[in-house]
Chains A and B, each alone.
Chain A
Amino acid sequence: MPQVPRARGRTVVVLASLAALVVAATLLSLAVGARSIPLPDVLHALTGGHATDDAVVVTSQRLPRTLVALGAGAALGAAGALMQGHVRNPLADPGLFGVNAGAALGVAVLVFVLGVDAPGAVVAAALVGAAAAASVLFVLGLRSLQGGAVVLLAVLGTSLAAFLGAITSSFVLLDRQTLDVMRFWQVGSVAGRDTSAAALVLPLVVCGLVLALANGFSLRSLGLGEDVARTLGTRVVRARVVGIGAVTLLAGAATAVCGPISFVGLVAPHLARRLTGHDYAALVPAAALAGAAVLLLADTAGRIVAPPGELQAGIVMAVIGAPILLAVARRRRVVAL
């Protein structure tokens, strides 16, 4: 008798190999840059060896940005997987669909209009903005069930991102001096970020990831449509609310620290889906790991492609992500997830 294809063992293997990839990318990120540092020296510096120049570079410059990339990548990857699962749209990404732009607008209003820039307030403003944008998307996205609607929602998401971006720049225009801050922040980068803000959002990211993992189990049945999900005993409204909450926490926190970074949430779930299939319980953690690896590699690549300067991770992500988006778009049919 043919067996149901089982993939539990495979899931473990997939997650383990992705974790190994993340570790490799982490080491690479610590070793590569304007000055190459051999891996043994990196490890030596990390374990508290002598305070050589190399060790200082590793611990004071590369370690913080590596940790930020790890956290932001995992957050954006998981958020992208959740969004794709909830709105059943293969193009969903917190950056492309305006959730990050919502967070950015929240920050812009706070910092440049109200003149507040305490890290806690910045994070809160980013979360409020992200929550508003995510809610709009979910409410509209849940109506989309067919191919045409997939595209409509994609247009809506990108328009939302553009619109929120326009409002953000209008605040910047009102105040010339802040333009310099904003234009660097708006690119999306993991380098030179405020580590105190990063420490502040760490619990939020952890919280968001836990919610995302739990939400993955609901997405298994939600992928079959709300009616079927209900008949399988899923509490649909609760699952949606948890989904919005997780996306908000993850995308909002990542944006509060790094600025709006697009495409991680698009690329990571697509990579992960190739390995895990449609089981969101496995896809969400896989996408988080893939997101961390992808953003780390993008940041590392950005350090060496355009010497003596650096290319911000957000830009490298666009260069990597746009062709992938193109590939999805050029497939014969665009199908709801």
Chain B
Amino acid sequence: MADHPRTTTLHEPAAAPTPAAAPALRARGLTAGYEGRIVLEKLDLDVEAGRITTVLGPNGCGKSTLLRTLGRLVRPREGTVELLGRPLPALRPRELARRLALLPQSPVAPEGMTVGDLAERGRQPHRPWYRPWSPEDAAIATEAMTSTGVADLASRPLDELSGGQRQRAWIAMTLAQQPDVLLLDEPTTHLDLAHAVDVLDLVVRLRSQGITVVTVLHDLSLAARYSDTVVVLQDGRVRAQGPPADVLDAGLLREVFGLDARVYPDPVDGRPTVVPVGHA
């Protein structure tokens, strides 16, 4: 697509940008909610480009709403979101879909849809209805399936796959969009630990391809292991943000989650590991 320059593609992994680079997403004074209920209130957030950012917080603190607002599934009542320096309302739907992909929580595919069909849907924002399917589209969809490890399953219906495989197939769809920014809403829900790690390893590989990833996770230790930055939400605002080791400590867990927990450096690379003791 000639109308906008791509910073990264699946084929040419860009060098990881320095932290000083402009934020991939910038939210200012964000207030959002549903039907009379305010979930986010005057929230400010910068998401660094080329990093894995994980949003943490207790149930109902607005994690999903934040992600959905960043992806324009929820329109904010006040405040702005900028994607790579451009305000979201200025982008046409397909333009946005070429730059930013969002995988909602527990998406449902029609019965009988195959992994290949799904990956192909990711090309939709790049392909106006009058433009026929091109070899390039096919190559990109295949590439997306290969990098998520589901290429061998291309002709299998989604309903026959395991939870982990299905989740990776959905991520393949978002990769076929060739986004700069990928938002994953609880990508590890309903997955056992091995499959969850599988998905998160994939997220790390995506970072190495230059994609900015924002996820919502429930497991604090997993979040600490895989994230460059964690954002802790409380009552619709950002309570803390920074590298996991700086942010996650016993005091914060007590105040935000009401959780009595010890935090130890893990034996692998010293990231924080949360050991719950009980309700604070």
Contacts and interface: CB of A to CB of B under 8 A. Distances in A.
Interface of A: 1-6, 8, 88, 145, 214, 217, 220-221, 223-225, 227-228, 230-235, 277-279, 281, 335-337
Contacts of B129: 214, 217, 281
A4 B93 contact: no
Contacts of A227: 68, 73, 102, 104, 107
A100 to B, nearest CB: 25
B132 interface: yes
Interface in B184-223: none
Which of A8, A225, A278 is most buried by chain B, counting CB atoms within 10 A of its CB? A278
B268 to A, nearest CB: 34
Contact of A231 (B71, B95, B132, B152): B71
Contacts of A335: 110-111, 159
Given A4-B142, A235-B93, A277-B117, A221 B124 contact: yes
Contacts of B151: 1-2
Contacts of A1: 142, 146, 151
Contacts of B133: 6, 8
A224 B107 contact: yes
B111 A225 contact: no
Nearest to B155: A5
24 contacts: A2-B151, A3-B154, A4-B138, A4-B142, A5-B116, A217-B129, A221-B121, A221-B124, A224-B107, A224-B118, A227-B73, A227-B104, A228-B107, A228-B173, A231-B104, A231-B174, A232-B124, A232-B177, A233-B92, A233-B125, A279-B117, A335-B111, A335-B159, A336-B108
A231 B96 CA distance: 8
Nearest to B138: A4
Nearest to B179: A231
Given A234-B124, A335-B110, A335-B111, 15 more contacts: A1-B151, A3-B142, A4-B120, A4-B141, A5-B154, A217-B129, A223-B109, A224-B109, A224-B121, A225-B108, A228-B103, A231-B102, A231-B103, A233-B93, A337-B111
B141 A278 contact: no
Given A5-B114, A8-B133, A88-B110, A233 B98 contact: yes
Contacts of A278: 110, 112-113, 117
Contact of B93 (A8, A217, A234, A337): A234
B73 A231 contact: yes
B142 A232 contact: no
Nearest to B117: A278
Contacts of A235: 93
Contacts of B100: 231
Given A1-B146, A4-B138, A4-B154, A225 B104 contact: yes
B108 A2 contact: no
A278 B152 CA distance: 20
Contact of A225 (B107, B145, B177): B107
B154 A2 contact: yes
A89 to B, nearest CB: 11
B97 interface: yes
Contacts of B154: 2-5
Nearest to A234: B93
A148 to B, nearest CB: 13
Nearest to B106: A225
A5 B119 CA distance: 11
Contacts of B173: 228
Nearest to B100: A231
Given A8-B133, A230-B72, A231-B101, A337 B124 contact: no
B236 interface: no
A230 B109 contact: no
Contacts of A88: 110
Contacts of A231: 71, 73, 97, 100-104, 174
A16 to B, nearest CB: 17
A55 B123 CA distance: 54
B201 to A, nearest CB: 21
A29 to B, nearest CB: 33
Given A231-B97, A232-B177, A336-B108, A3 B124 contact: no
B94 interface: yes
B122 interface: yes
A3 B72 CA distance: 33
A242 to B, nearest CB: 13
A210 to B, nearest CB: 13
Contacts of B138: 3-4, 6
B112 A277 contact: yes
A281 B173 CA distance: 18
